[in-house]
Amino acid sequence: MSEEKSFKYVIIGGGVASGYAAKEFVNQGVNPGELAIVSKESVPPYERPALSKGYINLKNKATLPNFYACGGSGGERQFPQWYQEKGIELILDTEIVNADLASKTLVSNDGQIFKYQTLIVATGSTVVRLSDFGVEGADAKNIFYLREIEDADKLAYAMEVKEKGKAVVVGGGYIGLELSAALSVNNLDVTMVYPEPWCMPRLFTGEIASFYESYYANKGIKIVKGTVAAGFNTNSNGEVTEVKLKDGRTLEADIVIVGVGGKPLTSLFKDQVEEEKGGLKTDGFFKTSVADVYAIGDVATFPMKLYGEMRRVEHVDHARKSAEQAVKAIKAAEEGKTVPEYNYLPYFYSRFFKLSWEFYGDNVGESVLFGDNDPKSPKPKFGTYWVKDGKVVGVFLEGGTPEENKAIAKVARAQPSVESLDVLSKEGLSFATKL
């Protein structure tokens, strides 16, 4: 007979949103035995962004106890004992393979049955694989993806074994940029490949990207643009030796890292929960179309009140805040109360080498660059404003202090009017700091 357990609240997934939801349940008050977290991973919720930063910095490695949730936002680190003390059941190494929302029943890969009164879906995203596009040889050894800690462990091991070897990074998004920096710091000879005219094209303007590309070139990282990986050659052990590019060139490779995007893990709920823009559709309280089922983090498509449209956001800040909002809404509803609707200001960040940038708001409309964007400057500090319909709607800043970053966030939220782009170009950062 399969084991059956019942909980008032079950969270599927043990990532960022899950860890922050647990924190908020504790803040709001949860009785021992009421809450269970079921996670495929073998460790408690941690701050996932650390995987492409400190965790694979082999010379100065951040180890796991140091980046358990919720340390990344200045909160208490939730060690395994924390869950135990709070009476939260942490069910690790357990994948939910079937969810029957009508009978409020979940079934795991090892046959356990979980019943719930309220379900929070926090399954996050998975990586897009080159094998999904039928790229020849994409299953060769030493081709890596990075999503979970096990992936990072395999990559870190290969980086040690192949020290001073050649690494090819496929993809020019933030994973590609962060991992290229990490590989270079760990003494590998790095080449990045991406089809777009510049890196991080979904966020960066050509001017912003040009700074980072030059900075990377100065660090010895080679960049090949305008083509994609079309296949891989291997040796007799099945290890990758070469990346074949679509334009006919080949690149030698001891390690390949692929960062070409993610896709939300929604398949458990297909035909049960309404979807939009690839995610589970929610309201401003993260309630889905099914009663007592909430979705948070990467998997939720929610109303972005500030811009009057439904959006899905794959970033850690939203994972944390959506978790808090959902739990507050669940607890308020139990007392017949409501909480204000989610009113999120998009916030993304990244760190590599000695650089660190933050972005708030929306990157739409016209843009204007300000500040010192010389890649050879000892401390470059520059940014970009985006202006739409005469209002500043988005701000990017490299090298900002915490106060300056707070100031740009305030601007993106307030959306002040501005006479012209020239004003912003002349005033630069002081336009934000004086607000």
**383 lies in the site for ligand FAD, by CB under 6 A:** no
Per-residue binder mask for ligand FAD (CB under 6 A), 42-81, x = binder: ------xx-xx-----------------------------
The three state secondary structure string of the chain is: CCCEEEEEEEEECCCHHHHHHHHHHHHHCCCCCCEEEECCCCCCCECHHHHHCHHHCCCCCCCHHHHECCHHHCCCCCCHHHHHHCCCEEECCCCEEEEECCCCEEEECCCCEEEEEEEEECCCEEECCHHHHCCECCCCECEECCCCHHHHHHHHHHHHHCCCCEEEEECCCHHHHHHHHHHHHCCCEEEEEECCCCCCCCCCCHHHHHHHHHHHHHCCCEEEECCCEEEEEECCCCEEEEEEECCCCEEECCEEEECCCEEECCHHHCCCCCEECCEEECCCCCECCCCCEEECHHHEEEEEHHHCEEEECCCHHHHHHHHHHHHHHHHHHHCCCCCCCCCCCCEEEEEECCEEEEEEECCCCEEEEEEECCCCCCCCEEEEEEEECCEEEEEEEECCCHHHHHHHHHHHHHCCECCCHHHHHHHCHHHHHCC
Q: Which is nearer to ligand FAD, 96 or 199 (CB)?
A: 96
**15 lies in the site for ligand FAD, by CB under 6 A:** yes
Q: Residue 196 corresponds to which tokens in the numbers above?
A: 């777009």
Number of residues that bind ligand FAD (CB under 6 A): 38
**38 lies in the site for ligand FAD, by CB under 6 A:** yes
Among 35, 146, 167, 228, the residue binding ligand FAD under the rule CB under 6 A is: 146
Among 78, 180, 325, 350, the residue binding ligand FAD under the rule CB under 6 A is: 350
Cβ 420 to ligand FAD, closest distance in Å?
32
Q: Which is nearer to ligand FAD, 110 or 422 (CB)?
A: 110
- 259-298 residues near ligand FAD, rule: CB under 6 A: 265, 268, 297-298
Rounded CA separation 79/61 (Å):
19
Angle, helices 16-28 vs 316-334, to 10°: value is 30
Cβ 299 to ligand FAD, closest distance in Å?
6
Q: Are 281 and 289 in contact (CB under 8 A)?
A: yes
Stretch that binds ligand FAD, among 14-22, 197-205, 234-242, 250-258 (CB under 6 A): 14-22
Q: Between the CA of residue 97 and those of 10, 94, 232, 265, what are the distances in Å?
A: 15, 9, 33, 12
Stretch that binds ligand FAD, among 221-229, 328-336, 342-350, 380-388 (CB under 6 A): 342-350
Nearest residue to ligand FAD, scored by beta-carbon proximity: 15
Q: Residue 54 corresponds to which tokens in the numbers above?
A: 């400190």
Q: Which is nearer to ligand FAD, 246 or 315 (CB)?
A: 315
Stretch that binds ligand FAD, among 185-193, 244-252, 301-309, 312-320 (CB under 6 A): 312-320
Q: Which is nearer to ligand FAD, 52 or 142 (CB)?
A: 52
Q: Which is nearer to ligand FAD, 12 or 260 (CB)?
A: 12
Q: Which is nearer to ligand FAD, 88 or 245 (CB)?
A: 88
Q: Which is nearer to ligand FAD, 252 or 314 (CB)?
A: 314
Q: What are phi and psi of 302, to 5 degrees?
A: -125, 160
Q: Which is nearer to ligand FAD, 47 or 254 (CB)?
A: 47
Q: Which is nearer to ligand FAD, 171 or 383 (CB)?
A: 171
Rounded CA separation 265/121 (Å):
10
- 96-135 residues near ligand FAD, rule: CB under 6 A: 96, 122-125
Rounded CA separation 167/190 (Å):
5
Cβ 49 to ligand FAD, closest distance in Å?
3
**95 lies in the site for ligand FAD, by CB under 6 A:** yes
Cβ 347 to ligand FAD, closest distance in Å?
7
Q: Which is nearer to ligand FAD, 69 or 418 (CB)?
A: 69
Cβ 316 to ligand FAD, closest distance in Å?
4
**177 lies in the site for ligand FAD, by CB under 6 A:** no
Among 9, 10, 16, 303, the residue binding ligand FAD under the rule CB under 6 A is: 16
Q: Which is nearer to ligand FAD, 242 or 398 (CB)?
A: 398
| Residue ranges in contact with ligand FAD by CB under 6 A | 12-18, 38-41, 48-49, 51-52, 95-96, 122-125, 146-148, 175, 265, 268, 297-299, 314-317, 319, 348-350
